[in-house]
Amino acid sequence: QVQLVESGGGSVQAGESLRLSCAASGYTNCMGWLRQAPGKEREGVASVFTDESRTYYADSVKGRFTISQDNNENMLYLQMSSLKPEDTAVYYCAAGTQRFDGSWYCEFRYWGQGTQVTVSS
């Protein structure tokens, strides 16, 4: 059983920072953050492949966001810096199984409830 609870969302101005947290129960070898903006498809933001010690970042956030884990506390974090209005979305913590199809990706099966991030210009 895997349960995920996100926190840390809020409203900020462009250029500011937020740190999202995800409290997890149970173990999976892949965890990550996804987001969904109004009228848009849910997209992957960042993932960590625990067993492989690898991370993935979407091009749109690379260099601005950092994903990290505290395995001892079963916590997942997303440090978001230099936020842009286009980062506005509901952010979801997710977990699942790692897969390799030319590159590593996470097949997400478990989801948190989501936390709203709003970035104003």
Report the chain's mean pLDDT, rounded to a whole number.
94
**From residue 69, how far is each of 88, 107, 111 by CA, in Å?**
23, 18, 17
Does the structure show a pLDDT above 80 at 96? yes
- 41-56: average pLDDT: 92
Closest CA to 48 of 33, 63, 61, 36: 33
Least confident of 4-8, 27-31, 74-78, 92-96: 27-31
Q: Compute, in degrees rounded to 10, the torsion defined by CA atoms 75, 21, 55, 40.
A: 140
| 3-state SS assignment for residue 82 | coil
